[in-house]
Structures are given as C-alpha cells and as structure tokens.
Amino acid sequence: MELSGGQILVECLKAEGVDVVFGYPGGAVLHIYDALFQQEQVKHVLVRHEQGAVHMADGYARATGKPGVVLVTSGPGATNAVTGIATAHMDSIPLIVITGQVPTTLIGNDAFQEVDNVGITRPCVKHNFLVKDVRDIAITMKKAFYIATTGRPGPVVVDIPKDVTDPRVMIPFDYPASVSLRSYHPTVKGHTGQIRKAIDLIINAERPIIYSGGGVILGGASSQLTRFARLLNYPITNTLMGLGAYPASDRQFLGMLGMHGTYEANMGMHHCDVLIAIGARFDDRVTGNLAKFCPTAKIVHIDIDPASISKNVVVDVPIVGSIKSVLEDMLPLIEEAGGAKQPEALTAWWAQIAQWRDMRCLDFKTNGDVIKPQYVVQKVWEITQGDAYVTSDVGQHQMWAAQYYGFDKPNRWINSGGLGTMGFGLPAALGVKFAYPDEEVVCVTGEGSIQMCIQELSTALQYHLPVKVVSLNNRYLGMVRQWQEFFYSGRYAMSYMEALPDFVKLAESYGHVGMRIEKASDVEGALREAFAMRDRLVFMDFQTDPTENVYPMVPAGAGLNEMILV
Amino acid sequence: MRHIISILMENEAGALSRVAGLFSARGYNIESLCVAPTVDETLSRMTLVTRGDEQIIEQIIKQLNKLIDVVKVQDMADAPHIERELMLIKVQALDNSRNEVYRLAEIFRGQIIDVSESSYTIQMVGPGHKLDAFLNALGAIPVVEIVRSGALGIARGPRGMAVPEA
C-alpha cells in the first residue's frame, strides 16, 4: 500500500492506539489535516489557542497514563505551544507534539511562518526530531512514542516540513513493530545489592518517613507504594505532584509536605532518621533551605532518572529503576524480614506525630458570611465524594485544592507543579473530560489564571465537555499578594485586578451556565445545583475573602521546621 | 577540578547544540570543546573540558548521558590518559628576536610552519600546560595571533571507547 506523508503520519497514530489529537490547523500542516479529515478513527479537537491544545493533551495524559498527541502549524503555532511543552517537560508528562515546518527548501530563509522549532524547543523536551524525508516519518514516530513513554517520560516534538507530507509523493508504508536505540536504555530493574542495603536501613529505622512524588503516579506504582507503607506501618507524605498515590484518608498519611505542606509532614521530615524518597526529586519548594534539610536522616532514594539522584541532596542509598519494579522487589524482602524491626521506637515516633497533628495546621477561621476559599474546596470534596478529577491553575487556589481536596486515588489531581503555568487548569480539565466523559471533572482556578486560557470555553462547547469550573475569585493575584504582604511590607504592586469581566455573562456568552456566589451560606447550595447539571459546563464565580492567605508556610530560606502556622 | 570528558554521540544535525545547550542551560562552564566524526561515520566524538567539584562533574556526566543522542560518556580523569592540544601561534620575529623565537620553538619541540620577514608561525602540540609554558617563555616577544584547538584526550592501554552492547 502506497501512502503520502500525511497519510503515513495518521497511520502511525492509529498504530500507536491514539484516539484523539488536540490541535489547530495552518499552512504547514494542511496536508496532514487533509489526511486526518479522510478517516474517522483518530478524532481531532480543535482548540482556540495552541497553548490550550498542549495542556489538553497533557491533562489527557496525566489522567489516562497514555501519551497525549498535539498537532500545530509552523511558526506561531509552534511557539504558542512552547509553554505547554515546557509545562509537560517539567512534570515528565509523555506527549507527542507534531509541529509543521516550512518546506525543506525554504528552511533557513526566514520564510513565512518559519521558526527554528527544533532549536526553540530543545531545552524543554525530552527529545525532538526534524523529519526531512517522507521515508523517515514512520521510524521517527515510532522512536518518538518510545522515547516519550519509557524511562522518565516527557514530551517529544516532531517537526515536519510541508513538502515531507506532500500528497503527490506516495511511498510504501510499513510501521515498525519495535524500535531500539543504541544510545537510550532506561534502567527498569533496581540493583539487587542496593535494594538489600536500602531494606536494611529501612526496616531498622526508628523515626522513618516515606516521601513520595509524581514518579509513583507516572510509574503506575500507587498500589505497590500503598502496600509498602502499610507493611511497614510508616508515616507517609506526598509531594504536590504525588498526591493521590497514597490514599489521603488513610491514618498513615501526613498530608502534603513542602512550602505549603502540613506541620506534621514537615516536622516529620525534619526529625526523621531514615528518609525514604520514592519518585520524588527534592525540588526547592519541597526541601526549603537545603542546608537545614533533614539534618539527622539517612536517605534512600528510588528514581528512574539517574540524574535526579544526588542532584540537590546527596543521598546514602540510591536505587535507579522503575518505582513499580523496585518496590515489587522490596516487598517480599520486607515480608521475609518480618517487617519493621523497631516497634517501640516506632510507637514513640507515631506518638510524636500525633502531637504535631494536634496543632491542626489546616484549620481556618470563618468570618461571618464571607466565603473562605478553603471552605469551597472542602465542599467540592464533599459533594463529589472525593472522587472527582480535579485540575487546577497556579497560585493560592492550587495550594488550597491540594490541601483540602483529599485524593484517595492516583491520576485524579492534575496540576502544573514544576513550571507553575497559569492557564493550565481549564484546558487540562477538557482533556480529562474527553478521556472520561462519564467522570466528574472539576477545574479549581482563580480569576487571574482562568483568564490566561479562557478562550477554551469555546472548545468545551464545540466538543460538549461539561466540566465544572470553580473559580475562587478574590480580585487579587492572590499568591503574589500574599508574598507582598509578608515580604514587601504590604506594597501590593500590580497584584489587584481593577477591571474584571462579569464571569456569569462571559460563561453565558460562550454557551455555558454562569453562577456568581457571594455568601458562605450559599456555597453548598450553589455547588449542588451546579453538579446536578451533568450535561452543562458550569462556571462558578465564588467571591472569596480577598485577604486570605495560604497556611502553613515555610518562608524562602527557612528550614522545614520553621513554619508560619497562621 | 579540571576534567576532560569524552562523548560519543550520534552524528546527526543539532547534536552539538544539544550538548552546548545543556551546559549553558544548567550553568556549567565549557573551557574547550572539540568535535569531529569518527571511524564509524554514524558517530561523532566530542572532547570537552570543564571544571567543577565532584558533585557537579557527576551531574554533568549524568545529564550528558540523559541526552538521547549521546551513546557514551567517559570522564578521562577516571583512568590514565593522554591529553594533547594543538596550538598555532604567530609571533613577531624581527632582527633581534628572530633567533630567540627559533631557539624557543626548538626547545619546546614546535615546528615553524610559516615564515615572513617579520614573523614566524609555529605549530606546537602537547598538553595544555606545556603550551602555556611556551607562551610564558616567549616573555616580552610580541604575539600576533594564537589559535588553540582545545584539549583532546584518549585513554592509555589497548582498550578503545566503544559503543556499549545493547
């Protein structure tokens, strides 16, 4: 069978089991769009801005564990996608981003809608390709999917010049069954000797803590992690990216750690004698001041990426491998050893943790009928029975969602942790809803973030993606305002939005339902009403307390034991 | 500490910029960088000189290995090795300094590869510190131009740097 480059590309997507592409057409990708148009298996979601396309594919990937696929044109199409690509890169999300390019004969000529896309995206992809020959499309796509989804996952950009997909050039198509690269062999199996060393340290710990991150979710190792923690009866904390990998409602769970982590999680980190880091990367928002980080701990670190090990914090027992494989190797060894060896010390440690918990660091003060943002998130949790897919944008509302929506399952909490991309939440929610039309999908956002990708409300209507938007509208860029209050003597430089749209009318003009909620006593009723509208996108504009801050907080430069509680 | 790092990578467009970009993005310094194809034309061999403490060098090696196009990375400091650099240097050689420059070039086993009425161009090969020593020895004699290749390194003994078995 002879096919054109555009047809080959579509056949590659089919062969990889791709059911949807998020994209936006343009000159350089017209041949590809023409090929997409003439088949039905691979669906296409037309976005309103390329950044939205990448975030949608990203949300889809985070919820399903499958790679997300994006198709955009050359030049501005590609540069608009860069923020989304960098977002996925920082959080290790597998994406295939196909970008059009000007014809090979014009590359380097400053042609219309030309950018050096391979050059621009190089620092924010796992890998990228420029395909200069139609005969290379199939093998390149095979490599792209392989690289994006194995090892530490990440986005792969495939840049395709227009002449490479020319419908007049037909060649035989054969999709390779497998691919191997001599320069790329991700380690899966952990080193047996290192595992034994780690087990010895782990079972003999007196004040242990498990610190697990997004790697557990990416590696599909949530059930192994849960068994591991329960077998040992050790306390566990999750990073922002790792929430849901261990059930939040479990008694061993201490909550999130880090800058806005719980008192018990951060104090547990600071005072532990053995730190078991699993699929986490010792990010600066987690560690606080490195010089004061876990001063008495021996550290075991399990990660699939050797470059994550001893990057920020030098560890005692590194294990490179997939989290699932390493934990599966560890579980029988712990069972053979009869579990943890220091029951008395562990009892004392749990007693200490109970005291820290008694500080009730997430309690917040109510103020008459003023809507507290934390209360809104708590109610969303109640009404969705803690089982919704929750995406967020970036800022205070993100932290409140992370703190007050207890995730019991993995892949349910979807946010831009590494890059901190405002505008992520709504398109990500649409991507999730596309994958799981029967599930409840909520985007927790603020009036600042939502305006960065608000045009995707239009996409939501076209493809009938009835997500629920919970906007915590405090009229301020809240996290900026909070830092200005704490560290800039209340000089609120450019953090107040004086002119905001009427979000109710805005939602309505996009064909959705808008609600404005001004009193705490109306919150629950409004939420129930909104969630009862299963088939409609409902935009809820909650007028929240403008001066509420996120607590607890570890100020920049402080150790994890030096928290501001309220 | 100064390290010579040898890299075998796929001989593909943009491979060099992946390495250079990695160093600038992560704030590592590059003292010198040489790159050329190898016997196997699908591979390029890159020799890079950098400085950093043990932890930084470890990160550099890991980050290099993480680049998809990189086939193999070797820190020359891990084993006995030979370092060589080529320098072409154009020195003013007038009546009174002409003999002195000639003599110094001889002492340092340099070769004079071009001559004019007022200059000698000398080719010299050796480890970087030898080339530095020659420059010092020239003292007050004016140097017109210097071109240095940056260091190359190769391990001592019979074994070569090869593509690892899959």
Give the pLDDT band (50/70/90) at residue B166: low
Question: Over the stretch A208-238, which tens digit does the pLDDT of each residue have?
Answer: 999 999 999 999 999 999 999 999 999 999 9
| CB–CB contact A182 B166 (8 Å) | yes
pLDDT confidence of residue A230: 97
- Which chain A residue is nearest to residue B66, measuring alpha carbons? A307
pLDDT of residue B153 exceeding 70: yes
In the numeric block, the tokens 């020799």 are attached to: B47
| Closest Cβ opposite residue A182 in set B55, B63, B163 | B163
Question: Over the stretch B47-85, which tens digit does the pLDDT of each residue have?
Answer: 999 999 999 999 999 999 999 999 999 999 989 999 999
Q: Is residue A365 within 8 angstroms of chain B, CB to CB? A: no
- Rounded to a whole number of angstroms, the distance from the CA of A307 to the nearest CA of chain B is 5
| CB–CB contact A307 B55 (8 Å) | no
Q: How far apart are CA B146 and CA B34, in angstroms?
A: 17
Q: Is residue A311 within 8 angstroms of chain B, CB to CB? A: yes
Give me the torsion for CA of A229, A230, A233, A236, rounded to 10°: 40
Report how far apart the first and last C-alpha atoms of chain A are (Å, whole number).
68
Q: Is residue A127 within 8 angstroms of chain B, CB to CB? A: yes
- Which chain A residue is nearest to residue B13, measuring alpha carbons? A130
Contacts with B70 from chain A: Cβ below 8 Å: 183
| CB–CB contact B59 A311 (8 Å) | yes
- Rounded to a whole number of angstroms, the distance from the CA of B78 to the nearest CA of chain A is 19
Contacts with B40 from chain A: Cβ below 8 Å: none
Q: Is residue A14 within 8 angstroms of chain B, CB to CB? A: no
A416: which 2 tokens?
């831009």
Q: Is residue B62 within 8 angstroms of chain A, CB to CB? A: yes
- Rounded to a whole number of angstroms, the distance from the CA of B158 to the nearest CA of chain A is 23
Q: Name the phi and psi angles at B92, rounded to 5.
A: -65, 130
pLDDT of residue B13 exceeding 90: no
Q: Is residue B21 within 8 angstroms of chain A, CB to CB? A: yes
Report how far apart the first and last C-alpha atoms of chain B are (Å, whole number).
33
Contacts with B9 from chain A: Cβ below 8 Å: 183
| CB–CB contact A183 B59 (8 Å) | no
Question: Over the stretch B101-141, which tens digit does the pLDDT of each residue have?
Answer: 999 999 999 999 999 999 999 999 999 999 999 999 999 99
Contact, A128 vs A158, CB < 8 A? yes
Give the H or E element holding residue B71: strand B70-75
- Rounded to a whole number of angstroms, the distance from the CA of A163 to the nearest CA of chain B is 19
Q: Which residues pair with A367 in a beta bridge?
A: A370
User: Mutate which of B23, B62, B67, B68 to disrupt the A interface (most A C-beta within 10 Å)?
Assistant: B68
pLDDT confidence of residue B164: 78
Q: Is residue B146 within 8 angstroms of chain A, CB to CB? A: no
- Indicate the burial class of A231 (C-beta count within 10 angstroms; 0-12, 13-18, 19 or more): middle
Q: How far apart are CA A73 and CA A101, in angstroms?
A: 7
Size of the A and B interface in Cβ pairs below 8 Å = 44
Q: How far apart are CA A242 and CA A92, in angstroms?
A: 12
- Rounded to a whole number of angstroms, the distance from the CA of B152 to the nearest CA of chain A is 22
Q: How many CB atoms lie within 10 A of CB B41?
A: 8
Query: What are the residue ranges of helices labelled H in A192-287?
Result: 192-203, 214-218, 222-232, 263-271, 284-287
| CB–CB contact B66 A307 (8 Å) | yes
The three-state (H, E, C) secondary structure of A313-375, written as one string:
CCCCEEEECCHHHHHHHHHHHHHHCCCCCCHHHHHHHHHHHHHHHCCCCCCCCCECCEECHHH
- Which chain B residue is nearest to residue A132, measuring alpha carbons? B13
Q: Is residue B163 within 8 angstroms of chain A, CB to CB? A: yes
- Rounded to a whole number of angstroms, the distance from the CA of B151 to the nearest CA of chain A is 25
- For chain A, residues with pLDDT lower than 70 are none
Q: Is residue A187 within 8 angstroms of chain B, CB to CB? A: no
- Rounded to a whole number of angstroms, the distance from the CA of B156 to the nearest CA of chain A is 25
| CB–CB contact A183 B66 (8 Å) | no
Averaged confidence pLDDT in chain B: 94
- Indicate the burial class of A431 (C-beta count within 10 angstroms; 0-12, 13-18, 19 or more): buried
Active-site positions of A read: 50, 112-113, 162, 479
Q: How far apart are CA A62 and CA A85, in angstroms?
A: 14
Contacts with B62 from chain A: Cβ below 8 Å: 306-307, 309
| CB–CB contact B17 A310 (8 Å) | no
Contacts with B54 from chain A: Cβ below 8 Å: none
**Nearest one of A70, A65, A64, A73 to A44, comparing CA atoms:** A70
Q: How far apart are CA A294 and CA A287, in angstroms?
A: 9
Q: Is residue B14 within 8 angstroms of chain A, CB to CB? A: yes
Three-class SS of residue B45? strand
Question: Over the stretch A243-270, which tens digit does the pLDDT of each residue have?
Answer: 999 999 999 999 999 999 999 999 999 9
| CB–CB contact A307 B14 (8 Å) | no
Give the pLDDT band (50/70/90) at residue B162: confident
Q: How far apart are CA A445 and CA A428, in angstroms?
A: 12
| Closest Cβ opposite residue A122 in set B21, B62, B63 | B21
Contacts with A311 from chain B: Cβ below 8 Å: 59
| CB–CB contact A310 B55 (8 Å) | yes
pLDDT confidence of residue B163: 85
| CB–CB contact A123 B21 (8 Å) | yes
Q: Is residue A123 within 8 angstroms of chain B, CB to CB? A: yes
